[in-house]
């Protein structure tokens, strides 16, 4: 790999001179450490100190220049997980003159994206925290193209899913440990540090119990652009959906098992009159699983990281997530949140085992596989008696682990009943017409005219033109919302109207100033922006 690095010819003496003269240059986006990504020229890394180094010279730039706030708590998050205190990035500073006394720098010619993977052994974390954020960070900066090189600084070894990370660029990603073999002082010619969090939809419960992120900014469209890219890289073609329809049961083979899997598969096949196949990460290649899931009508699986593969389901497919005894599906929703992202167009169904008879727990296993033998007797008894794991923080709650690693005999009639409440006929990818949700623009040329009748009555005639973009759209239903607010009051009277003019007479007083707010609404719930407020004096 060190050979690979030096392949691109760079003029060493020119590079060294530029570093000494110009020092490091940094310009960042983002206002807080949690939304910051920084672009550097000549950022260096000491593999001995395991620290990034910023060299000051007369031409160096540091924006934002935070002073000691850079340590409160850090310049930025190196992983996509928000404000995690093991994932902070910072650098130490030196004068460029110190280079004279330091090891000879080794220059990295590739444009680098420097980041932390969060948990590369868990497939949910791989996709949600790493692959999607890396992909869209690369989309954000045009020089992070397929020739860019990824540097993973979290310190883990490759991990079982490393092949997936390799798909994101044409160059082999490098791990922190490998940097030592390249030299004592590495200098990245051009680099980006940090990951975009714009695609993440879930928070894992480090400061409050886990749940969907408060402000989700990704839709199914962006998820599918990413999966399309991944499938192209995996050489999987988007097949025609004319071929046979089928159900995929994604099974786990090590823990959290479905104990009556054969029976489940048979029942699904019979109920939906569809071929039903089972896959697992242990028995199938990743590509094969993607190929199968990307054409499936329904994906059935125990709660667990493998369910993130529903990213690859076709529109219209159904996700059925099974939860072991005492685990409330509403409290663990990474896969539900994914399935119901706007534009994912998946149907989501949760089933929970509510029958103690059908669960097999493992109190004597090690704690990280759900064992509880290390707890005191009273606590063990409480856990065993409990019928629901109370909400908790990540990641070592023994009651949660105990319940999460139970095996389950799925009650088939109960499961089929739950699925049938949502899937009435055949499940599966419906050839849906694209019903993109486009929002109206502002209404135009809004006008009002007041008329006063006597001393106590008045009328306001308000009119406006359709939003500009409506001319080019076919919209099922166009409505207008008008708010009439008396100046100085903080309440208003709302109206929903079908036409482009209306005369208001209810509660309109003479010799009063009204503020009139108008916006267009498509198909009941696509609310457009308000036009500039109209001032109307009666």
Closest CB to ligand UDP among residues 109, 329: 329
- Count of positions (residues) in the chain: 538
Nearer to ligand UDP (CB atom), residue 393 or residue 452: 393
Q: Pick the closer one to ligand UDP by CB: 305 or 415.
A: 305
| Residues in contact with ligand UDP by the rule CB under 6 A | 122-124, 252-255, 281, 304-306
- Residue number, 304 or 528, with CB nearest to ligand UDP: 304
Phi–psi pair at 461, nearest 5 degrees: -100, 120
- Which of 415, 404, 395 minimizes the C-alpha distance to 254? 404
**Residue 282 Cβ, how far from ligand UDP at the closest point, in Å?**
6
The C-alpha atoms of residue 480 and residue 501 are separated, in whole angstroms, by: 10
Task: Say if residue 63 is preceded by a cis peptide, omega within 30 of 0.
Answer: no
Q: C-beta of 309: minimal distance to ligand UDP in Å? A: 9
- The nearest distance, CB 203 to ligand UDP, in angstroms, is 15
Cβ atoms of 45 and 33 closer than 8 Å: no
Q: How far apart are CA 79 and CA 86, in angstroms?
A: 9
Number of Cβ within a 10 Å radius of residue 43: 26
Residues paired with residue 319 on neighbouring β-strands, in sequence order: 299, 348
Rg (CA), the chain: 29
Kindly tell me the burial class for residue 536, based on how many C-beta atoms sit within 10 Å of its own C-beta (0-12, 13-18, 19 or more). Answer: buried
Residue 392 or 479 having the CB closest to ligand UDP: 392
**Toward ligand UDP, which CB reaches closer, 46 or 80?**
80
Alpha helices in 111-209 (DSSP H): 123-125, 132-140, 162-166, 176-179
Residue 54, Cβ neighbours under 10 Å: how many?
21
Q: Which two tokens stand for residue 244?
A: 């046979």
Q: How far is the CB of 134 from ligand UDP (least distance, A)?
A: 18
Classify 272 as helix, strand or coil: helix
Beta carbons within 10 angstroms of residue 276's beta carbon:
21
Q: How far is the CB of 262 from ligand UDP (least distance, A)?
A: 17
Nearer to ligand UDP, 33 or 252 (CB): 252
Distances in Å between the alpha carbon of 1 and those of 4, 108, 138, 162, 181?
Answer: 5, 12, 22, 16, 9
Coil vs helix vs strand at 304: coil
The nearer residue to ligand UDP, 152 or 400, going by C-beta atoms, is 400
Q: Residue 22: CB partners within 8 Å, gap ≥ 6? A: 41, 42, 57, 59, 60
Supply the minimum distance, in Å, between the C-beta of residue 121 and ligand UDP. 6
Give the nearest distance from C-beta 119 to ligand UDP in angstroms: 9
Pick 185 or 258: Cβ nearer ligand UDP = 258
Would you call 315 exposed, middle or buried from its count of C-beta atoms within 10 A (0-12, 13-18, 19+)?
Answer: middle
At its nearest, how many Å lie between ligand UDP and the CB of residue 369? 9
Query: Of the two residues 119 and 199, which places its CB atom closer to ligand UDP in the complex?
Result: 119
- Cβ of residue 281: shortest distance to ligand UDP, in angstroms? 4
For residue 69, the minimal CB distance to ligand UDP (Å) is 36
User: What's the CA gap between 103 and 453, in Å, rounded?
Assistant: 90
């Amino acid at each position: 790999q060190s050979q690979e690095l030096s392949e691109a010819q760079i003029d060493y003496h020119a590079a060294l001179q530029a570093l000494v003269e110009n020092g490091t240059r940094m310009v960042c986006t983002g206002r807080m450490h949690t939304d910051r990504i920084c672009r550097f020229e000549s950022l260096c890394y000491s593999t001995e100190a395991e620290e990034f180094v910023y060299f000051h010279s007369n031409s160096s730039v540091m924006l934002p220049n935070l002073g000691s706030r850079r340590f409160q708590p850090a310049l930025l998050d190196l992983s996509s997980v928000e404000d995690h205190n093991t994932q902070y990035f910072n650098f130490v500073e030196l004068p460029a003159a110190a280079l004279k006394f330091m090891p000879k720098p080794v220059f990295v010619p590739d444009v680098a994206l420097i980041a932390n993977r969060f948990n590369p052994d868990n497939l949910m974390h791989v996709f949600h925290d790493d692959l999607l954020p890396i992909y869209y960070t690369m989309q954000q900066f045009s020089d992070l193209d397929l020739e860019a090189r990824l540097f993973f600084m979290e310190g883990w070894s490759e991990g079982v899913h490393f092949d997936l990370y390799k798909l994101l660029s044409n160059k082999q990603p490098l791990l922190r440990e490998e940097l030592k073999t390249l030299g004592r002082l590495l200098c990245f010619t051009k680099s980006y540090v940090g990951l975009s969090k714009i695609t993440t939809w879930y928070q894992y419960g480090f400061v409050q119990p886990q749940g969907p992120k408060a402000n989700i900014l990704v839709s199914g469209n962006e998820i599918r652009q990413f999966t399309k890219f991944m499938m192209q890289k995996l050489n999987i073609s988007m097949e025609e959906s004319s071929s046979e329809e089928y159900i995929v049961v994604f099974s786990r083979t090590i823990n959290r098992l479905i104990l009556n899997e054969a029976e489940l598969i048979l029942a699904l096949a019979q109920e939906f009159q569809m071929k039903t196949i089972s896959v697992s990460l242990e028995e199938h290649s990743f590509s094969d699983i993607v190929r199968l899931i990307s054409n499936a009508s329904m994906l059935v699986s125990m709660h667990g990281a493998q369910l993130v593969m529903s990213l690859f389901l076709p529109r219209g497919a159904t996700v059925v997530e099974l939860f072991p005894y005492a685990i409330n599906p509403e409290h663990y929703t990474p896969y539900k949140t994914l399935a119901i992202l706007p534009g994912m167009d998946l149907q989501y169904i949760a089933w929970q085992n509510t029958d103690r008879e059908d669960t097999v727990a493992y109190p004597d296993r090690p704690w990280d596989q759900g064992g509880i033998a290390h707890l005191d007797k009273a606590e063990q008894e409480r856990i065993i008696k409990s019928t629901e794991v109370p909400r908790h923080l990540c990641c070592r709650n023994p009651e949660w682990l105990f319940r999460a690693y139970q095996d389950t005999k799925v009650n088939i009639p109960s499961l089929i009943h739950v699925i049938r409440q949502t899937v009435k006929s055949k499940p599966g990818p419906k050839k849906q017409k694209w019903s993109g949700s486009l929002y109206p623009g502002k209404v135009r040329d809004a006008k009002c005219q007041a008329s006063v009748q006597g001393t106590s009555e008045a009328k306001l005639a308000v009119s406006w033109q359709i939003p500009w973009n409506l001319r080019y759209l076919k919209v099922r239903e166009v409505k207008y919302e008008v708010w009439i607010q008396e100046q100085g009051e903080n309440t208003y009277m709302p109206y929903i109207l079908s036409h482009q003019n209306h005369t208001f007479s209810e509660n309109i007083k003479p010799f009063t100033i009204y503020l009139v707010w108008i916006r267009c609404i498509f198909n009941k719930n696509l609310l457009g922006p308000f036009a500039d407020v109209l001032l109307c004096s009666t």
